[in-house]
Structure 1
């Protein structure tokens, strides 16, 4: 049984229902932490752009990297300051009191620990409409923390009694969690949405960033925006780049994200061992991701596991940058027919695909058409308003009249 994905017709119907309501919903979000990540960014976009419902956020931990953004946007966040991986009685008591005081129409939780803690405490506080948020698509012993696996397993058993519905950004994540005994009938798939006023083709940004990196406009540039992590499998990408270089292609590749700098000796050694240090730009963390996506000709995602809904693919495509991705999570659904999907952990296939991409890139007319299709797919399918409407429909199904 597949979870319901919000269709175009449902999108329009739910949007009409939302705007016909006289009273907005009072939504209280409970999230584990506010470090930089996909769940945190989606929560920010949802609260920032939803003009109909009223949003407040409770964070089980501290402000992390994203907290200041919520403050700047005027989004109220209450911090419980519980230590990482630990639940305190004082934190639980304060959460219960907040719920009793605010009496939200809906409690929407984000990530496993918040699903468990926020969901159970909300029920005890008398909240009837509790929606869990599930985003992870792989729990691997030896890679994922044992405590996280335990909490996810516990949530599976509680999923029949605690949440009214379970919102997932990814159909693949739904299938993974059904195997963990999550209630399949409660899932609703609401893909991530993006503020397209901030993401789009920008020739000036492309020119500026490429000049900063010392690249001519006609130099083919691959790129990957991802932290240095085994999940992202940079070794797979680097091995593919080495094979591409061996085939005689001229190109550059920019690696952007936490740990993507010359201080990362493991990464530098990997590049040198494959003979591609001269082809790779180690950019490090950047805050101007839309500009970076415009500077790239192709975004490559080489992950081998753990992705549910890879945000970087949609962000790149919104800027008119086609994508090559391994077949992880909902990557194939995001890319559609605008890019290319390859098997994980197979550098030979990845190299062959990148060579084919370079061949097409040389034909400016064909390439421009592909860029336009990539952007249009995000406009049609992954706007922030579609995400808002999907969540609103789920919240109304969960219980509020």
Structure 2
């Protein structure tokens, strides 16, 4: 998307660039800014996504902004010098530790020449002094309506200082073409048990609140309804949580699903798995701020079944409401999956869930702030 107004210089600041939704969102927005003719700078402690970021035209500046300790205060003066040198139009903070560094540096800069300050609430942060820095920005972005309501009720942020902008996805990445014949051939060579089955997909890192245990219970019930399905869990255990993976394997075997559910670990080809699947599952056991797997799967044309709560409920309501089931009702979940496998799903994901819309809305926030100067 090409913006016709004068180009901007945007600095995004986050802890690191290793993996995760915040990191992916930062890199994707940076790429779209560059495509639109803007200057994009990202400040972080580094990580494996830096090379790709730079290759797509952004500048990366490595700085230890990730530490949740008083030692981070030593980065305030260097940050102030850096921002003075860069002269950006906007500084966009995406996490609490770097937000403290940026805010303490920014507030001592000349109000008539300093950049405008924006923050994105990527989650429903704990309500305390540390988290409150995210509400000190001149304008705030909420990634979902439930996050926006949380900001209003817990941080008393005025309505006019919040803009709701869902995380955008790239239609060039999430579509049916990702699942090529060659990809399927290689997948079936590695996992022959998947061939000829309806794939029931469970994407997401292995974590107790993400719902993999509920997924196994659901698969046990689904297999009583039909035998032509196979569950696929995509995702790794969190660092230091390998024991949870062992628990899941034990539960799978205890439920008699050792040949019905396959764990494939971390994969970089998740769009192909979405396109292969008959149904994608979202089963978090608490409100998730956004639930990125829901619109990603819908964008590929694959229906999603999810518990009716949080950000996942919002995006499913927008694109495929028939996929919603009562929260924590595993029996209803299995019945809905069974129904959707044989149904012709009519999926209509709104434009607001795509990168082009996210970029336009975010640039709108930036330009309105600059116009107030």
TM band (smaller chain):
0.7 to 0.9
Match of 2:354 in 1: 383
> 1:180-225, CA deviations, whole angstroms, 9 ceiling, x for partnerless residues?
2241321101111122122211252563365243256642110111
| Secondary structure, aligned partner of 2:11 | strand
**Aligned counterparts of 1:182 and 1:71: Cα–Cα separation in 2:** 38
Q: Name whichever of 261-270 and 273-282 sits farther off.
A: 261-270
Which of 23, 29, 38 aligns to 1:53? It is 38
Which of 155, 158, 173 aligns to 1:198? It is 173
Match of 2:108 in 1: 124
For the structure 1 residues 247 and 204, does the alpha-carbon distance in structure 2 shift closer, same or farther, using more than 3 Å as the test?
A: same
Mapped pair 1:227 → 2:211: no
Contact 2:298–2:319 at 8 Å: present in 1 too? no
**Aligned counterparts of 1:82 and 1:136: Cα–Cα separation in 2:** 19
Mapping 1:273-352, distance limit 5 Å: 273-335=254-316, 336-338=318-320, 339-352=322-335
Greater RCO (CA < 8 Å, at least 6 residues apart): 1
Contact 1:131–1:163 at 8 Å: present in 2 too? yes
RMSD: 2.6
Match of 1:4 in 2: none
TM-score relative to the length of structure 1: 0.81
Mapped pair 1:175 → 2:149: yes
Contact 1:26–1:105 at 8 Å: present in 2 too? yes
Mapped pair 1:136 → 2:105: no
Match of 2:19 in 1: 36
| Secondary structure, aligned partner of 1:27 | strand
Tell me how far 1:88 sits from its aligned partner: 2.5
Tell me how far 1:36 sits from its aligned partner: 0.8
**Aligned counterparts of 2:211 and 2:129: Cα–Cα separation in 1:** 25
Match of 2:364 in 1: 393
| Secondary structure, aligned partner of 1:90 | helix
**Aligned counterparts of 1:111 and 1:322: Cα–Cα separation in 2:** 32
Mapped pair 1:109 → 2:68: no
Mapping 1:129-278, distance limit 5 Å: 129-137=116-124, 139=126, 150-152=129-131, 154-155=132-133, 159=135, 162-185=136-159, 186-202=161-177, 203-204=179-180, 207-208=184-185, 210-212=187-189, 213-215=191-193, 218-259=196-237, 264-278=245-259
For the structure 1 residues 99 and 193, does the alpha-carbon distance in structure 2 shift closer, same or farther, using more than 3 Å as the test?
A: same
Give ranges in structure 1 of 5+ residues lacking alignment. Answer: 1-14, 140-147
Contact 2:67–2:97 at 8 Å: present in 1 too? no
Mapping 1:15-34, distance limit 5 Å: 19-21=3-5, 23-34=6-17
> 1:332-379, CA deviations, whole angstroms, 9 ceiling, x for partnerless residues?
332235251123333222222222223xx2xxxx52xx2xx43x525x
Give ranges in structure 2 of 5+ residues lacking alignment. Answer: none
Contact 2:214–2:283 at 8 Å: present in 1 too? yes
For the structure 1 residues 208 and 193, does the alpha-carbon distance in structure 2 shift closer, same or farther, using more than 3 Å as the test?
A: farther
| Secondary structure, aligned partner of 2:264 | strand
For the structure 1 residues 251 and 138, does the alpha-carbon distance in structure 2 shift closer, same or farther, using more than 3 Å as the test?
A: farther
Tell me how far 1:25 sits from its aligned partner: 1.3
Match of 1:97 in 2: 81
